[in-house]
Structure 1
Amino acid sequence: MTQYPRACGIDFGTSNSTVGWLGPDAGVLVALEDGRRTLPSAVFFNADEDSVSFGRAAMGEYLEGYEGRLMRALKSLLGTGLMDGHTEVNGRALGFRDLLARFIGELKDRAECASGRTFDHAVFGRPVHFVDDDVVADRKAQDTLEAIARQVGFRELSFQFEPIGAALHYERSLSREELVLIADIGGGTADFSIVRLSPERARAAERREDLLGNAGIHIGGTDFDRALSLECVMPVLGYRSRMRSGAEMPASVYFQLAAWHTINFAYTRQVWADLQQIYRDAIARTELDRLCRLINLREGHWLALQVEQAKIALSASAHTRVDLERLEPGLALALSRAAFTAATQGLVERVGACVAGLLSAAGVDRARIDTIYFTGGASGVPQLRARIAAELPAARSVEGDLYGSIGAGLAVEAARRYG
């Protein structure tokens, strides 16, 4: 009887999550929702039906207008002070650790159901840095994720850098040796690895000598959403408008609304009271009316979705249109890729500097890199991809499975580590 691996690989992502397993079928990634291999990292607590839904179903219930609380970008909580705190969900206190445990437990249950077996061993992917320039906070983030994984039933688990997971997946397609820069740019982080890959090297149990360097920075797709939102969308809600006193409109509420994991903080009584006070001295009353309507109707997640869709559209086209009808009849916003590029220039340069720093620290001549392997949903942003490629003009660019490479590679690693 064929012995299939007893362990799975889990890519718990900021935007989407996957589970990989080298089972009897050709596909490595497990179907997690309606036959799809990804499960959006979202949870919706439905107050109307007193139920909890996950992934696309969570997003769907929220958009259908059910009363409740939507939570996205859950991974962004790791390494922050919020992780040990609580939030209110439908009148009850919910710890953020418990929130992550619910989602990861659901991920495990769905993978087991689809595979017809129990997984108590796993290799989890992790970014090169959960937290930039803070070794203690970074270690605490991994320890927290490990504790949560054990809480939901994993007895044995270990971690692998996410770009290495992508490298192991790409390696299975090679017929000759390559020196590869793995560019993994997901929802929350941009991670890079320089790796020697080949069919022969893939057979080795120890690959330490093939890894020439790792680097990462806490910039990902949600940061591009945030920059696009603040620079191009929030001004129609009064961002950077002036008060009668000459001061600029306080910005804290706009920053809260521009990031998935802080949107709900904009709905507190204190924020509403502050807005009423600010309104009396505001010049841009029309814009402030839109902001008040958005907060009163709790449409922050809806707006974030419009911005995210605009980012995706501008990654493929030169222009797009954002429908803001919910805030004001007939309101729409025309956006261009040029504006998107300008809004994200600082982020792009920081990512480019990270790649340049990695090449310098690894002592690798740029001309030696054969391939840039792009994975992660945010690696499809044109200006970002072009900036990375500019560091390695002689290398060819290969686009992997943007949402599945890491989970598939972690499945390979899980089978190697646990048998």
Structure 2
Amino acid sequence: MRQSTKSLHAQAIASPIGIDFGTTNSSVALARGGQIELVRFARRSGETESFRSVLYLERVRQDGHLRIGSWTGPTAIEHYLDAEKKGRLIQSLKSYLSSSNLTGTEILGRHFSFENLISRILTDLRLNAERQFGRDIRYAMVGRPVRFVGAESAEDDAFAVGRLQRAFEFAGFEKVEFAMEPVAAAYAYESTLDHDELILIGDFGGGTSDFSLLRVGPGIRKRGRSPQDLLGNSGLGLAGDAFDARIVRKLVSPALGAGTLLHPASKMLPAVPAWIYLNLERWHYLSFLRTRNVTEILKSARVRAMEPDKIEALITLVDEDLGFQLHQAVQRLKFELSSAETAEFRFVDGTLELRKAVTRAEFESWIADDLAAIEGCVDSLFDSSSVGYADVDRVFLTGGTSFVPAVRGIFERRFGVDRVRSGNEFTSVARGLALRAEESLSDARHS
């Protein structure tokens, strides 16, 4: 017998998922009876539980007419790399949620609202979950940072949450609840405990670093959670993307002519404007440099520069649109320096080859200001909550930047190596959100 529309709708609302919509990557999970299943996303090299938070738009011809095709996640990256004539690749949309000045943009001759762009990614996250779990899904527990990138006030944060709420509604969700991302990670950690603890959670994303102090454990769940269990939150709009930008600025840009001067006859001026190198620090901006104006600037600089070979390398990078490959090389260096004192930066693609040995100490000097900002954020949390470092039973770190030894060292110096833990660095927030969604649904049924 076919289920009624009303019954199917009730099932869709009663099937909540946890969605960690991240600046760089997103993940989705479903909890059933405390057991967690992560959504797996298809890509050419095999399935992945990490969905790149990117959107690619390109003109395509269909039935004799040109229209705008769109792809998200791993498929978006693949289409972008395959395209001979590049369309528009958009990423890090989450970083602009708090910006009231950014309401939308024109892409390939068509206007898109900011919420519509985000909803296109969220729609595919929902559809992938529906295919895997075999049911309609209209209810999501969604992670949010303690402070959104660019937010300078509580009003800015509220504005960002409102925009994200609308984007989820545009993507077909009828019920959306929000939970702080570090608190969600705490739920994932809590599922491993057989006793209660006071914990500090550090969640390092692509755009934000967030921290929460809270009490968790089976005893807390049994008696029922209370607002007093959360002792404090703090966060800042700085994380993994900033570290990547430092590597490009300190290592890559100089090899591509940053700081190179014109010949003395030209009064020793910089050969290439600084704004061109700023575009290298976010790999998807590189395609914006493929214009006639930039081409003329670079060709003129190559003729008059004291180090023309470096300008030639920059021209090759821009002409061949190698931003994604450059990003992968930066990520690989950062990963290798997490386990070794020295690593080689290797970027070899066609005629362009950049190689340079880098020490961990050099890398840490490049990110020293960022590390100091993270330390200050952690210390301010303890100052405002009147909790001492010795009171914390465990520190749980999650997110890709938690692999960086200098970041981990911030916590090991304050709490000792034995109290610092990590695990499921890229999916713990989604896991915790799924558990929170299941708990929220159970509470609603029994209230």
Taking structure 1 as the reference length, the TM-score comes to: 0.90
State the partner residue of 2:176: 157
Contact 1:132 1:217 in 2 (8 A): no
- Match 1:344 to one of 367, 378, 394: 367
How many residue pairs align between the two structures? Answer: 416
Contact 1:20 1:30 in 2 (8 A): yes
Contact 1:76 1:261 in 2 (8 A): no
Aligned-pair identity (%)? 30
Contact 1:47 1:66 in 2 (8 A): no
State the partner residue of 2:282: 259
Q: By how many angstroms is 1:395 displaced? A: 6.0
Contact 1:15 1:187 in 2 (8 A): yes
Provide the rounded CA distance (Å) in 2 between the counterparts of 1:354 and 1:74: 24
Q: By how many angstroms is 1:81 displaced? A: 6.0
Contact 1:77 1:261 in 2 (8 A): no
* Gap change, CA 1:413 and 1:155, over 3 Å in 2: same
One-letter amino acid matched to 2:93:
L
State the partner residue of 1:298: 321
Taking structure 2 as the reference length, the TM-score comes to: 0.85
SS of the aligned residue for 2:413 comes to helix
* Gap change, CA 1:204 and 1:165, over 3 Å in 2: farther
Larger Rg: 2
Q: By how many angstroms is 1:268 displaced? A: 4.1
One-letter amino acid matched to 1:11:
D
> Which consecutive residues of structure 2, in runs of 5 or more, have no partner in the other structure?
1-10, 62-67, 443-447
State the partner residue of 1:114: 132
SS of the aligned residue for 1:242 comes to coil
Provide the rounded CA distance (Å) in 1 between the counterparts of 2:18 and 2:280: 33
Q: By how many angstroms is 1:275 displaced? A: 3.8
Q: By how many angstroms is 1:109 displaced? A: 0.7
State the partner residue of 2:17: 8
SS of the aligned residue for 1:22 comes to strand
1:28-43 matches, within 5 Å, as 28-33=37-42, 35-43=47-55
Q: By how many angstroms is 1:178 displaced? A: 1.2
Provide the rounded CA distance (Å) in 2 between the counterparts of 1:293 and 1:325: 12
* Gap change, CA 1:353 and 1:327, over 3 Å in 2: farther
One-letter amino acid matched to 1:42:
V
State the partner residue of 2:433: 410
State the partner residue of 2:218: 199
Deviation digits for residues 80-102 of structure 1 (CA, Å, limit 9, x no counterpart) = 3674232535x655554332221
State the partner residue of 2:241: 222
Provide the rounded CA distance (Å) in 1 between the counterparts of 2:350 and 2:47: 35
Q: 213-222 or 264-273, which moves further after superposition? A: 264-273
1:177 and 2:186 correspond? no
- Match 1:359 to one of 382, 403, 408: 382
Q: By how many angstroms is 1:308 displaced? A: 1.8
Q: 116-125 or 68-77, which moves further after superposition? A: 68-77
What's the Cα RMSD here?
2.7
State the partner residue of 2:445: none
State the partner residue of 1:17: 26
Provide the rounded CA distance (Å) in 2 between the counterparts of 1:407 and 1:216: 19
One-letter amino acid matched to 1:308:
Q
* Gap change, CA 1:46 and 1:311, over 3 Å in 2: farther
* Gap change, CA 1:417 and 1:63, over 3 Å in 2: same
Q: By how many angstroms is 1:412 displaced? A: 1.5
Q: By how many angstroms is 1:183 displaced? A: 0.6
One-letter amino acid matched to 2:323:
G
One-letter amino acid matched to 2:341:
A
SS of the aligned residue for 1:6 comes to coil
* Gap change, CA 1:6 and 1:18, over 3 Å in 2: same
* Gap change, CA 1:61 and 1:333, over 3 Å in 2: farther
Deviation digits for residues 344-396 of structure 1 (CA, Å, limit 9, x no counterpart) = 11111111111011111111111111111011111111111112322333761
One-letter amino acid matched to 1:289:
E
* Gap change, CA 1:253 and 1:180, over 3 Å in 2: same
State the partner residue of 1:246: 268
One-letter amino acid matched to 2:329:
Q
Deviation digits for residues 292-322 of structure 1 (CA, Å, limit 9, x no counterpart) = 2222222223222221222122222233333
Provide the rounded CA distance (Å) in 2 between the counterparts of 1:60 and 1:19: 21
Q: By how many angstroms is 1:413 displaced? A: 1.5
1:123 and 2:138 correspond? no
